[in-house]
Structure 1
Amino acid sequence: MSNSPMNKRLSSSPFKPKPEPVIEVFAVGERVTHDLHGLGRVIGVEENAVAVDFGTRSVRVPSPYTKMHRL
């Protein structure tokens, strides 16, 4: 069905495609804040997730990091 003419985007369309989300890259030792868990420090980096120590517990936060921000 993806080849259907109904799914094609015309260059003259007034509707723009959604931009690709920019996925942040975090490094071990960086300070971060998370909307749910609060302040923390990155303790591990994987391809699609980071491990963060929030003091009372460590949490694996999967990508994309929409609720986590660098301090």
Structure 2
Amino acid sequence: MPSLPARRRSLASSPFRPEPEPVIEQFATGDLVTHDVYGMGRVIGVEAHAVTVDFGTQKVRVTSPFTKMAAL
């Protein structure tokens, strides 16, 4: 399992706002999605930290945080 990068700690006395928590999109079986590399596809499998997407020519397992994929 790939580890996520360490979050930078912010001090209460800091004048800068802490970085917001990243929102990880949730997908369900049957969702239509688009991927920056593979194009348009349909979710055919959902796991805890990954989804399997059928892009027509190939089936690809995409792991969380799904930065290159968006729901349509």
Q: Specify the TM-score bucket, using the shorter chain as the normaliser.
A: 0.7 to 0.9
Q: What amino acid maps onto 2:21 in structure 1?
A: E
Gaps of 5+ in 1: 1-6
TM-score normalised to structure 2 length: 0.82
Give, in whole Å, the separation in 1 of the partners of 2:32 and 2:10.
Answer: 41
Please state which structure has a larger fraction of its residues in helix: 1
Q: CA deviation at 1:15?
A: 1.8
Q: What amino acid maps onto 1:56 in structure 2?
A: T
Q: CA deviation at 1:11?
A: 2.2
Matched, 1:51 2:52: yes
Question: Residues 28-61 of structure 1: CA distance to partner in whole angstroms, max 9, x if unpaired?
Answer: 0110000010000000000000000000000000
Q: What amino acid maps onto 1:67 in structure 2?
A: K
Q: CA deviation at 1:19?
A: 1.1
Aligned-residue identity in percent: 66
Q: CA deviation at 1:8?
A: 6.4
**Highest Rg: 1 or 2?**
1
Aligned residue in 2 for 1:33: 34
Count of matched residue pairs: 65
**CA 1:18–1:42: 2 relative to 1, 3 Å:** same
